[in-house]
C-alpha cells in the first residue's frame, strides 16, 4: 500500500494489514504532518491472464508512526532574553508627578512675584524720604497712607520758642535747626514760614524769614533764629515750615 503525505507529497509503502477497517491516524516522518488515512478499497478481480510472477516484496518498515494521537509540536518560539550589557528601557516619571511639575512651577512663580512686591513695598516705606526728594509728587501718596514725608529732603529739628522782654515790648524768639535727612547734598528752600494759631488751631499771624544757608550736605544741619515783636496774646501753637520762597 502506497501512502502520500498531503502536505509535502512524500510517498511511503506500508502493509495494508496494519490498517483497521475504520482507518487510522498517521504522521509524515519528513514534515510531521498528521492526517487520518482510510483503509484502501479492495481492487477489482485480476484479469484472466495472470501477471508474471514477481519476487515477493520485502516488507518495508512503516515510515509513519502508528500512534492514535498526534504528538504535541515543540514550541517554535522561545522567550527572548535581553542581551548582556544592553541598557534597560528608561521609565519616565509617573503621570501624577508629570502633572504636578507645571503646578509647582506656577506656585513658585507666584511666590517669587509676591516676594518681589513685598520687597518693593518695604523699600518704598524705608526710603520714602529719598523717594519724595527725587519724585515730589509721591509725597501725596505717602500722606494719604498716614506717613509724614518731606518732599524737600530738608526738615526742622529742635524747634523751640519763648517770650522775652525788650525795650518794654514782648518779643517771641523762635530757634531750631534745619537738617538734611537725605543721602546727598540738597538745596535749602530760601523761605521759612512761622505760623501762630490759637487754642482752636485758627491762624492768628505768620511771618517769613530766610534760613541764611544755600545747601546742606547729607546729614548736615544749620541753626536758625527768628524773632517777632508784640506777638498775639492768644497764640497757643506755633508751626515752622518751608513757604516755597514766599516773601
pLDDT of residue 13 exceeding 60, the answer is yes
What pLDDT is stored for residue 66 in this prediction? 44
Residues pairing with 13 in the sheet: 2
Regarding whether 206 and 141 lie in a shared domain, the answer is: no
| Structural domain count, the chain | 3
Examine residue 50 and state whether it is found in any structural domain, yes or no: no
Q: Could you tell me the residue range of the domain that residue 181 belongs to?
A: 154-242
pLDDT tens digit sequence for 214-236: 999 988 999 999 999 999 989 99
Examine residue 104 and state whether it is found in any structural domain, yes or no: no
Regarding whether 163 and 143 lie in a shared domain, the answer is: no
CATH of the domain at 161: 2.60.40.10
What pLDDT is stored for residue 194 in this prediction? 95
pLDDT, greater one: 12 or 157: 157
User: What would the grid cell of residue 124 be?
Assistant: 518704598
pLDDT tier for residue 22 given thresholds of 50, 70 and 90? confident
What pLDDT is stored for residue 167 in this prediction? 83
Lowest mean pLDDT among 109-113, 163-167, 222-226, 242-246: 242-246
Regarding whether 181 and 197 lie in a shared domain, the answer is: yes
Give percent of the chain above pLDDT 70. 66
Regarding whether 142 and 166 lie in a shared domain, the answer is: no
What pLDDT is stored for residue 67 in this prediction? 43
What pLDDT is stored for residue 239 in this prediction? 94
Regarding whether 184 and 225 lie in a shared domain, the answer is: yes
User: What would the grid cell of residue 3 be?
Assistant: 501512502
Return the HEC string of 197-242: ECCCCCEEEEEEECCCCCEECCCCEEEEEEEEECCCCCCCEEEEEE
Examine residue 187 and state whether it is found in any structural domain, yes or no: yes
What pLDDT is stored for residue 56 in this prediction? 55
Regarding whether 163 and 185 lie in a shared domain, the answer is: yes
Examine residue 145 and state whether it is found in any structural domain, yes or no: yes
User: What would the grid cell of residue 84 be?
Assistant: 548582556
Regarding whether 147 and 167 lie in a shared domain, the answer is: no
pTM: 0.42
pLDDT tens digit sequence for 178-201: 999 878 888 898 899 999 999 999
pLDDT tier for residue 143 given thresholds of 50, 70 and 90? low
DSSP line for 50-101? PPPP-PPPPPPPPSSB--SSPPPPPPS--PPPPPTTPPPPP-PPPHHHHHHH
pLDDT tier for residue 79 given thresholds of 50, 70 and 90? very low
d(CA 124, CA 130): 9
Examine residue 160 and state whether it is found in any structural domain, yes or no: yes
Regarding whether 164 and 178 lie in a shared domain, the answer is: yes
d(CA 136, CA 85): 74
pLDDT, greater one: 235 or 105: 235
- Parallel, antiparallel, or unpaired for β 192-197 and 237-242? antiparallel
Examine residue 111 and state whether it is found in any structural domain, yes or no: no
Q: What is the dihedral of CA 125, 126, 130, 132, to 10 degrees?
A: 10
pLDDT of residue 170 exceeding 80, the answer is yes
Regarding whether 176 and 129 lie in a shared domain, the answer is: no
pLDDT tier for residue 157 given thresholds of 50, 70 and 90? very high
State the average pLDDT for the chain: 76
Examine residue 208 and state whether it is found in any structural domain, yes or no: yes
The segment with the largest mean pLDDT, out of 119-128, 192-201, 236-245, is 192-201
Examine residue 19 and state whether it is found in any structural domain, yes or no: yes
Amino acid at each position: 500500500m502506497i501512502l502520500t503525505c498531503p502536505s509535502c507529497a512524500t510517498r511511503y509503502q506500508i502493509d495494508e494489514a496494519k490498517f483497521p477497517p475504520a482507518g487510522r491516524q498517521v504522521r509524515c516522518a519528513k514534515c510531521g504532518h498528521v492526517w487520518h488515512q482510510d483503509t484502501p478499497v479492495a481492487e477489482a478481480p485480476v484479469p484472466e491472464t495472470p501477471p508474471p510472477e514477481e519476487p515477493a516484496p520485502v516488507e518495508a518498515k512503516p515510515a509513519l508512526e502508528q500512534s492514535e494521537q498526534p504528538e504535541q509540536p515543540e514550541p517554535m518560539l522561545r522567550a527572548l532574553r535581553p542581551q548582556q550589557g544592553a541598557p534597560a528601557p528608561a521609565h519616565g516619571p509617573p503621570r501624577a508627578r508629570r502633572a504636578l511639575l507645571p503646578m509647582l512651577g506656577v506656585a513658585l512663580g507666584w511666590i517669587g512675584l509676591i516676594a518681589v512686591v513685598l520687597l518693593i513695598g518695604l523699600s518704598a516705606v524705608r526710603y520714602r524720604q529719598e523717594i519724595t526728594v527725587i519724585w515730589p509728587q509721591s509725597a501725596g501718596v505717602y500722606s494719604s497712607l498716614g506717613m509724614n514725608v518731606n518732599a524737600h529732603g530738608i526738615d526742622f529739628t529742635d524747634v523751640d520758642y519763648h517770650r522775652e522782654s525788650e525795650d518794654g515790648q514782648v518779643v517771641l524768639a523762635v530757634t531750631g535747626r534745619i537738617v538734611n535727612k537725605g543721602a546727598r547734598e540738597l538745596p535749602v528752600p530760601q523761605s521759612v514760614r512761622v505760623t501762630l494759631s490759637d487754642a482752636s488751631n485758627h491762624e492768628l499771624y505768620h511771618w517769613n524769614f530766610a534760613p541764611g544757608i544755600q545747601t546742606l550736605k547729607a546729614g548736615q544741619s544749620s541753626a536758625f533764629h527768628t524773632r517777632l515783636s508784640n506777638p498775639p496774646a492768644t497764640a497757643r501753637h506755633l508751626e515752622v515750615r518751608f513757604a516755597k520762597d514766599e516773601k
